[in-house]
Amino acid sequence: MDGILNVYKEAGYTSHDVVAKLRGILGQKKIGHTGTLDPAATGVLPVCCGKATKICELLTNKDKTYQAVCRLGVITDTQDTTGKILEERTVKNITVEEIYQAVASFEGEIMQTPPMYSALKVNGKKLYELAREGKEVERKARPVTISKIKILQVNLEEQIFSMEVTCSKGTYIRTLCHDIGMKLGTGAAMENLIRTRVERFCIEDAITLDEIEHLAKEDSNQLAKKMIPIDRMFLQYPAMQIESGMAHYLANGNQLYDKQLKPFIKDNEELQKTVEATRKEVQERYRIYDENGQFRAIYQKKGREYHVVKMF
């Protein structure tokens, strides 16, 4: 099967676990996830199958949205409540207004230092492996973008608040919670995390591994319908189809020319996108389909020539 599954990752699974289980369910090896989600976290994990593994990096780089619960008054070694408590602080003097102000101050481009308990590698070894050995190494702060952050609820009696965060690749929500707590002076650790969106993949449409396994056994046609076709990820590009008798040029990834292509229209929505895009007289990317209407490649137009960007 080729395409992207919007998997709902349940607590207790690593992203790697999800891939391993799917390989068994679908009976295919070529499967990859699109960005690590902590074992305790739940939510959206797009998984690329077959030829779609070529676009894993594309989805990894997209913005993501999370809902997080932060516990005030505690600092841990993992920056979440699963870790060892390093320090406890009072929350008595903090106001709701101060929490709102502190959270809002993190919107925009910020510098964030990756936590020791992360999968980043230093000299070929993952940071969390070093952390488990009791070692700590220097990490450089790096820029990340918090495009939107808002408080969902504050409960000072329980010493928690929840927030929704839309952010760029490489943002650690655990670290964000920790940094907010440090700004408040109370410390904070992430208590719960749900990823609600990765690019166009939303939690409302996500399906669990159990549901996927059931469909694979009982209704493979329905499972196929849950698989997002690869070309749906490139609808911003106009669609072209290879002319009859020219298929071998496309199959070999050769450069193409206008005379070898024609507009490919599958529905009114794509027709409109094609018309609008072909009005542009700039270098443009195109979805290229074979004679049978199967999506095969992304090409870049340069002058009169089309050059292959990626084959599928």
The total number of structural domains that make up the chain: 3
* Exposure class string for 81-93: b at 16+ Cβ within 10 A, else e: bbbeeeeebebee
Residue 12 sits in a domain of what CATH number?
3.30.2350.10
Instruction: Fill in the DSSP letter of residue 228.
Output: B
Q: Please tell me the predicted confidence (pLDDT) of residue 267.
A: 52
Q: Please tell me the predicted confidence (pLDDT) of residue 129.
A: 80
Q: Please tell me the predicted confidence (pLDDT) of residue 176.
A: 98
**Rg (the chain; Cα; Å):** 23
Residue 234's contacts (CB-CB under 8 Å, 6 or more residues apart) are 285, 287, 298
Q: Do 162 and 110 reside in the same domain of the chain?
A: yes
Tell me which residue of 310, 303, 255, 253 sits closest to 287, measured CA to CA: 310
Encode pLDDT of 55-114 as tens digits: 888 887 889 999 999 999 999 999 999 999 999 999 998 999 999 999 999 999 999 998
Q: Please tell me the predicted confidence (pLDDT) of residue 272.
A: 56
Domain boundary among 211, 230, 249: 230
Q: Please tell me the predicted confidence (pLDDT) of residue 146.
A: 97
C-beta atoms surrounding 292 within 10 Å: 9
Q: Do 127 and 275 reside in the same domain of the chain?
A: no
Q: Which residues belong to the active site?
A: 38
The Cα–Cα gap between 50 and 32 comes to 9
Please check whether residue 257 is in contact with residue 295, taking contact to mean a CB–CB distance below 8 angstroms. no
Q: Please tell me the predicted confidence (pLDDT) of residue 266.
A: 67
Q: Do 114 and 169 reside in the same domain of the chain?
A: yes
- pLDDT higher for 119 or 26? 26
Domain boundary among 151, 182, 198: 198
Compute the C-alpha angle 132/138/142, nearest 5°: 110
Instruction: Fill in the DSSP letter of residue 51.
Output: G
Q: Do 21 and 126 reside in the same domain of the chain?
A: no
**In this predicted structure, which of 16-20, 143-147, 300-304 has the lowest mean pLDDT?**
300-304
H/E element holding 192? strand 188-198
Q: Do 114 and 73 reside in the same domain of the chain?
A: yes
Q: Do 167 and 81 reside in the same domain of the chain?
A: yes
Q: Please tell me the predicted confidence (pLDDT) of residue 57.
A: 83
Q: Do 216 and 267 reside in the same domain of the chain?
A: no
Q: Do 137 and 208 reside in the same domain of the chain?
A: no
Encode pLDDT of 256-296 as tens digits: 999 999 988 765 555 555 555 554 544 589 999 999 999 99
Q: Do 96 and 26 reside in the same domain of the chain?
A: no
Residue 289 sits in a domain of what CATH number?
2.30.130.10
Q: Do 182 and 95 reside in the same domain of the chain?
A: yes
- Name the residue range of residue 215's domain: 3-62+200-230
Encode pLDDT of 151-210 as tens digits: 999 999 999 999 999 999 999 999 999 999 999 999 999 999 999 999 889 999 999 999
Q: Please tell me the predicted confidence (pLDDT) of residue 282.
A: 45
Q: Do 226 and 259 reside in the same domain of the chain?
A: no
Q: Do 176 and 104 reside in the same domain of the chain?
A: yes
Encode pLDDT of 117-136 as tens digits: 877 787 777 888 877 888 88
Domain boundary among 148, 182, 198: 198
Q: Please tell me the predicted confidence (pLDDT) of residue 102.
A: 97
H/E element holding 212? helix 209-218
- pLDDT higher for 224 or 164? 164
Q: Please tell me the predicted confidence (pLDDT) of residue 276.
A: 57
Encode pLDDT of 29-56 as tens digits: 999 998 888 889 999 999 999 999 998 8
